[in-house]
Amino acid sequence: MRLSEVGEFGLIKNMRSICPIPGERILLGIGDDAALVQPRPEYSLLLTTDALTEGIHYDLRYVPIDALGWKSLAVALSDVAAMGGFPVCCLVTIGLPSQWSVEDVRSLYNGITRCAIRYKCPVVGGDTVKTRSGSFINVSVLGEVRSGKEKRRSGAKAGDLLCVTGELGGARTGLEVLQSENIPTSSYPHSIARFLEPRPRLEEAGELIREMETTSMIDISDGLASEVRHLCEESSLGCLVLEENIPVSKEARLWAQKKGELPVQFAMKSGEEYELLFTVDPNILDRIANGSSSTKFAMFSVIGEMKSREEGIKIRKGVEIHPLTIAGWDHFHGFGGGG
Amino acid sequence: MRLSEVGEFGLIKNMRSICPIPGERILLGIGDDAALVQPRPEYSLLLTTDALTEGIHYDLRYVPIDALGWKSLAVALSDVAAMGGFPVCCLVTIGLPSQWSVEDVRSLYNGITRCAIRYKCPVVGGDTVKTRSGSFINVSVLGEVRSGKEKRRSGAKAGDLLCVTGELGGARTGLEVLQSENIPTSSYPHSIARFLEPRPRLEEAGELIREMETTSMIDISDGLASEVRHLCEESSLGCLVLEENIPVSKEARLWAQKKGELPVQFAMKSGEEYELLFTVDPNILDRIANGSSSTKFAMFSVIGEMKSREEGIKIRKGVEIHPLTIAGWDHFHGFGGGG
B263 min Cα distance to partner chain A (Å): 27
pLDDT for B181 equals 83
Res. B19: pLDDT tops 80: no
What are the φ/ψ torsions at residue A232 (nearest 5 degrees)? -65, -45
Which among A6, A34, A130 is the nearest to B334, CB-wise?
Answer: A130
Query: From CA A206, how far away is CA A201, in angstroms rounded?
Result: 9
Q: Which residues from B are below 8 Å from A140, CB to CB? A: 47, 49, 91, 140
A258 at interface of B, judged by CB pairs closer than 8 A: no
**Contacting residues for B3 by C-beta, under 8 A, at least 6 apart:** A332, A335, A336, B11, B96, B98, B100, B101, B102, B105
User: How many inter-chain contacts (A to B, CB under 8 Å) are there?
Assistant: 270
Bridge partner list, B137: B52, B94
Bridge partner list, B276: B219
- Walking along chain A (339 residues) 10 residues at a time, the average pLDDT comes out as 64 64 68 78 88 95 97 97 93 92 92 94 90 95 90 94 97 96 91 97 93 94 93 96 96 97 94 96 85 63 97 93 70 35
B206 min Cα distance to partner chain A (Å): 16
Residue ranges and CATH numbers for the domains of chain A are: 6-146 (3.30.1330.10), 153-330 (3.90.650.10)
Query: From CA A112, how far away is CA A128, in angstroms rounded?
Result: 14
Selection from A83, A61, A62, A63 nearest residue A71 by Cα = A63
B46 at interface of A, judged by CB pairs closer than 8 A: yes
Res. B291: pLDDT tops 80: no
- pLDDT tens track for B75-125: 999 999 999 999 999 999 999 998 899 899 999 999 999 999 999 999 999
**Contacting residues for A48 by C-beta, under 8 A, at least 6 apart:** A76, A79, A80, A83, A140, A141, A143, B33, B34, B35, B91, B125
HSE of B16 in the Cβ direction (CA atoms, 13 Å)? 12
What are the φ/ψ torsions at residue B133 (nearest 5 degrees)? -160, 145
Cβ of A82 within 8 Å of Cβ of B142? The answer is no
Mean pLDDT of chain B: 88
pLDDT band at B39 (very low <50, low <70, confident <90, very high): confident
Q: Which residues from B are below 8 Å from A122, CB to CB? A: none
User: Between β-strands B237-242 and B313-317, what pairing exists: parallel, antiparallel or unpaired?
Assistant: parallel
Cβ of A38 within 8 Å of Cβ of B147? The answer is yes
Q: Which residues from B are below 8 Å from A31, CB to CB? A: 153, 234
Q: Are A168 and A247 in contact (CB under 8 A)?
A: yes
Using DSSP, state whether A313 is helix, strand or coil.
strand
Q: By percentage, how much of chain B surpasses pLDDT 90?
A: 69
Selection from A192, A198, A199 nearest residue A62 by Cα = A192
A227 min Cα distance to partner chain B (Å): 11
A57 min Cα distance to partner chain B (Å): 9
pLDDT band at B330 (very low <50, low <70, confident <90, very high): very low
Those of residues 79-108 in A touching chain B at CB distance below 8 A are: 79-80, 82-83, 85, 89, 91, 93, 95-96, 98
pLDDT for A20 equals 60
pLDDT band at B329 (very low <50, low <70, confident <90, very high): very low
Res. B328: pLDDT tops 50: no
pLDDT for A334 equals 37
- pLDDT tens track for B42-72: 888 999 999 999 999 999 999 999 999 999 9
Strand ordering across the sheet containing A276-280: A216-219, A276-280, A161-165, A300-308, A237-242, A313-317, A320-323
B35 at interface of A, judged by CB pairs closer than 8 A: yes
Cβ of A28 within 8 Å of Cβ of B335? The answer is no
CA angle B131, B136, B141 (to 5 degrees): 130
pTM for this predicted structure: 0.89
Proportion of chain B in helix, strand, coil states, percent, rounded to 5:
40, 25, 30
Bridge partner list, B269: none
Cβ of A98 within 8 Å of Cβ of B6? The answer is no
pLDDT for B12 equals 61
Query: Does the ipTM exceed 0.85?
Result: yes
B25 min Cα distance to partner chain A (Å): 10
Torsion of CA A178, A181, A183, A186, to 10 degrees: 50
Cβ of A47 within 8 Å of Cβ of B91? The answer is yes
CA B335 and chain centroid, separation: 23
Residue bearing the bigger pLDDT, A36 or B177 = B177
Q: Which candidate in A47, A94, A151, A235 is best for mutational testing of the B interface (most B CBs within 10 A)? A: A47
Cβ of A132 within 8 Å of Cβ of B50? The answer is no
Cβ of A36 within 8 Å of Cβ of B128? The answer is no
Which among A5, A131, A333 is the nearest to B56, CB-wise?
Answer: A131
